[in-house]
Amino acid sequence: MYKAEDYTYRVFWSESDQEYVGSVVEFPYVSFLDKNRSKAFEGVTKAVEDVLAIYLEDGEEPAVPLGKRKYTGKFALRMTKEQHQRVAMEAAEQGVSINQLLVSRV
C-alpha cells in the first residue's frame, strides 16, 4: 500500500479564493485550502491519508504515485497530416529527425 508521502503535491495561491490551494496530481479531486501555505500542504497530505484509508477499507487499489511508475521512454503522438508535414519539413530544415525535433521541444 502506498503512503501519502509517495504522492506528488503542489501548493499555489488562488486569487479567487484568497487562499493557498494544496493539491495532489494523482488525485485531482482532492484539495485543501488555507491562508497559510504550510497548512495547505499539511491539509492536502492529511486528505490523501484519508483517501488511502478509504481505498484500503474498500479493498480497492489507489492511483500509483508518479514516482513509483515505470516509464519506457516511448510516447505515441497523433497529429493531423498537415501538422506531420510541417514538423517533417522543419526537422529536415534543421537536419534532425522528427523525434529529435519534438524531444527538443518538450
Q: Look up residue 61 and give its amino acid.
A: E
Structural domains in the chain (count) = 2
Inter-CA distances, 21 with 29, 33, 35, 63, 71, Å: 12, 5, 9, 21, 29
The Cα 83–Cα 31 span in angstroms is 37
Residue 89 pLDDT level (bands cut at 50, 70, 90): very high
Residues 46 and 93 in one domain: no
**Whether pTM exceeds 0.85:** no
Could you report the per-residue pLDDT of 15-55, keeping only the tens digit for each? Answer: 999 999 999 999 999 999 999 999 999 999 999 999 999 99
SS3 string, 11-71, reads EEEECCCCEEEEEECCEEEEEEEECCHHHHHHHHHHHHHHHHHHHHHHCCCCCCCHHHCCC
The domain of 18 spans: 4-67
Q: How far is CA 25 from the centre of its chain?
A: 4
Residues 51 and 32 in one domain: yes
Residues 49 and 99 in one domain: no
Residues 62 and 84 in one domain: no
